[in-house]
A and B are shown apart, each in its own frame.
Chain A
Amino acid sequence: MSLLLDVQDLRLTLPSREHSFSPVDGVSFSLSPGEALGLVGESGCGKSLTALSLLRLVPEGSGISGRALFEGQNLLQLPDEAMRQVRGSRLAMIFQEPMTCLNPLLRIGDQVSEAILIHEKVSRREAEERSIALLKQVGIPIPERRARDFPHQLSGGMRQRTMIAMALVLKPSLLIADEPTTALDVTIQAQILDLLGSLQQEYGMAVLFISHDMGVVSRVAGRVAVMYAGRIVEQGKVDEVLRHPRHPYTKGLLSSRPELGRKGLSGIAGTVPDPKRFPPACRFHPRCPIVEDVCREKEPDLSEVSSGHLSRCWKAETLKA
C-alpha cells in the first residue's frame, strides 16, 4: 500500500538572539491511509512543532528542511497558495485549546459554514444545513439550537467537538490532533476519544495523534513514535512498545506513569532539556540510568531492533527483557 504521508529528516530551525537552534531535528516517520500514529513525549520534545512544521505554520524567519510527501506532493516545497488549499481540505488540524482557534464573535454554526463556503461552491443555506449535520455527527445535542451559540457559551468538550466538526468539513485524509483532550476532564476525554475513533473509521481518515500521555495514545493509535529532545527515540506498534520498550526513555516514561493499583513510581532523574541546549551525543544520556561512555561520545542511529520496531539507543539489545 502506498503511503499517505512520508516524512524524511524533517528539521525546523528557529532563530534566536545567541544562535539558531533546532527543536525538531531530523524526524522521520510515515503514515498509511486510514492509520493512526501516536506521537508521544514531554514538553519541549518537539512533538507539536513537528506537526506545525508539516503544515508550515511556523514563525517567520524559521527554516524547515527535509521532505514531507503527502499524497505525492512535498508539503515543504509547495507554493503558498497550493499549501493553503491542502490545509483544511486534505489535511486538517485540531488543537488542545479550541477557544484560541474559534472566533469569539461568531456563532459556532456560522464558523462551521464559513469553512464550507471557503472551500466549496454551495449556497449559504446548504452550508448551514451541512454544518448542523456535522455538529450533530460530532455529538452536539440539539445542534439546530447550539449552532446559534457563541464559543463562550459552550463547555470545553463541546468546543472541542465544534473544532472537530470544522476539521471534518472537507473530509480530510489526514487529521492532526495536538493534545485534543488534555484540557478536558477524564469522562469527557473518554467521549472525545471514542468520537475520534468512530470518525476515523467512518471517514477512513488517517490521524496523527500528539499527546504527552501514553495511555491516551494507546487508546487511539496502532503505532507510536516517542520523541525526546527533537528526535524520535523509539517507534513501533503500540502494544509492542508498551510491553517491550527498547529505549530507556520510553521505559522511564512508562514507569513514571501513575496507574490504578500500582505502588511506587520510579520517575526519571533530572529535567527535560531546554530545546536551545540539547545535550551532545545521545541526548538522553544525562538522565539515563544505564548510560555508558559511548553514549556520551556518539549519538546512536534510530535502528530496527525487531520487525517494525525502532530504537535510538546503544544499549537497545540489553533492554530486551
Chain B
Amino acid sequence: MIAVTDLSKHYAVPSRKGGRKHLRALDRVSFEIREREILGIVGESGCGKSTLGKAMLRLVEPTSGHVVYQGKDLIKLPSGELQALRTDLQMVFQDPYSSLNPRMRVGEVLGEVLWVHGTRGKEEKDKRVSGLLDMVGLSQDHARRFPHEFSGGQRQRIGIARALAVSPKFLVLDEPVSSLDVSIQAQILSLLTDLKSRLSLTYLFISHDLAVISMLADRVAVMYLGRFVESGPVREVFSSPLHPYTQALISAIPTLSDEPIAQKAKALGEPANPVDPPPGCPYHPRCPLAQGECRIEVPELRTHHENHTVSCHRV
C-alpha cells in the first residue's frame, strides 16, 4: 500500500564550536506497509519514531527519501495534490487535548474538518458528525460540549473521530494511548482494533510500549537513534529477538510473570547524543556483546530469514 524508501530527516543544530552539526532524527529508513496491516514502530524517546510518522505524511518536511502511495511520491507532490491525498492519510496524536481547539465545541471541531474537505450542507454535516461520534463510542449530546469537559479517554476518542472524518484509508497513530490510565487504555485499543476491521484501515502504530505493539501489530520495527535495528513479524521478533537492543527492551519490561531477567540482555548506560552519535554501530556503547568491528563499522540492515531483518554484526 505504501512504500517508504531511504526516508531521512536531518536537523541542523548549532555546534558548540560555532558552525553547524546535523541531528539525524531519521536516517535512511525503508519499509513497506501492506493493505489492512498494522505496522508497529517501537523505540525509546528520541529514537525518531514520531519524526518517522510525521515525515511520512509530510507534517514535517523530510530531508530526503520517497514515500510512494498509489503510484505517487508524496515527497515530491505539490501541496495542492498532497492536500487531496491527505483525506486518505490521517494522523492521531498522543495528547488530544493539545490538538483540540479549546474554544470549539466538539461538533464544530468535527464539522470544520468536513467543511475543509468539501461537505457543505448543515444537515449532511450534522448527520456525519453524529455518525462519527457514534462510531467512536460517544453520544450525540457530546457534540455540544467543549474539549475540557471530557476525560482523557473521551478526548482520544474525539481525536480518532476527527481523523476518521475524511474517511481515510491509512492512519498514523502516534502513542495514542500513552497518556491514558491502563483501564481506559484497553478501551481505546479495542476501539482501534474494532475500527480497523470495520473500516478496512491500515495503521502505522507508534509506541514506546512493546506490550501494546505486541498485542495489536502484525509486524514491528524497532528503532534506535533514527534507524531500524530490527523488523519482522511481531510474534517472531518478540519471541526470538535477534538484536541485542530488542532483547534489552524486552527484558526491561516489567511483566507480571516472575521470570528473572537474563543479565546479558540488559542495556548498559544511556542512549548516545543523536547530534554526536558514536562511530560504528550506534548501539555499541550500550551493548554487552560489542566487539572491535562494532566500534568501527555501521552494520547494514540485512535479511536474517524471510521477513525478519536485523542490523547487527554479532547475529
A residues sitting closer than 8 Å to B (CB atoms) are 42-43, 141, 155, 157-158, 185-191, 193, 212-216, 218-219, 239, 242, 252-269, 271-272
Contacts and interface: CB of A to CB of B under 8 A. Distances in A.
Contact of B249 (A43, A186, A259, A267): A186
B215 A258 contact: yes
Interface in B177-192: 181-187, 189-190
Contacts of B256: 214-215, 218, 242, 254, 257, 259
B270 A257 contact: no
B153 A271 contact: yes
Interface residues of B, number: 41
Contacts of B118: none
9 contacts: A43-B181, A186-B249, A187-B286, A190-B266, A256-B185, A258-B212, A260-B238, A261-B239, A267-B186
A216 B252 CA distance: 10
Contact of A185 (B44, B238, B269): B44
Nearest to B151: A271
B16 to A, nearest CB: 13
Contact of A42 (B183, B210, B254, B270): B183
B39 interface: no
A258 B252 contact: no
A103 B41 CA distance: 36
Contact of B270 (A158, A254, A259): A158
B28 to A, nearest CB: 23
Given A215-B254, A260-B250, A261-B239, A185 B183 contact: no
Contacts of B212: 258
A261 to B, nearest CB: 6
Tell which of B211, B238, B271 has the most Cβ of chain A within 10 Å: B211
Contacts, number: 118
Nearest to A42: B181
Given A213-B254, A216-B254, A261-B239, A268 B183 contact: yes
B255 A157 contact: no
A159 to B, nearest CB: 12
Contacts of B182: 42, 212-213, 253, 256-257
Contact of A188 (B181, B184, B251, B270): B270
B254 A260 contact: no
B267 interface: yes
Contact of A190 (B151, B186, B252): B252
B211 A259 contact: yes
Contacts of A271: 151, 153-154, 184
Contacts of B249: 186-187
A142 B182 CA distance: 38
Contacts of B30: none
Given A185-B44, A272-B151, A260 B183 contact: no
Contacts of A155: 270
Given A141-B269, A187-B248, A265-B190, A252 B214 contact: no
B208 interface: yes
Nearest to A43: B181
Nearest to A183: B45
The 4 closest A-B pairs by CB, nearest first: A267-B186, A215-B254, A258-B211, A268-B183
B268 to A, nearest CB: 9
A260 B253 contact: yes
Contact of A252 (B45, B183, B286): B183
A258 B209 CA distance: 9
A215 B183 contact: no
A187 B151 contact: no
A300 B255 CA distance: 31
Interface string B201-233: 000000011111011000000000000000000
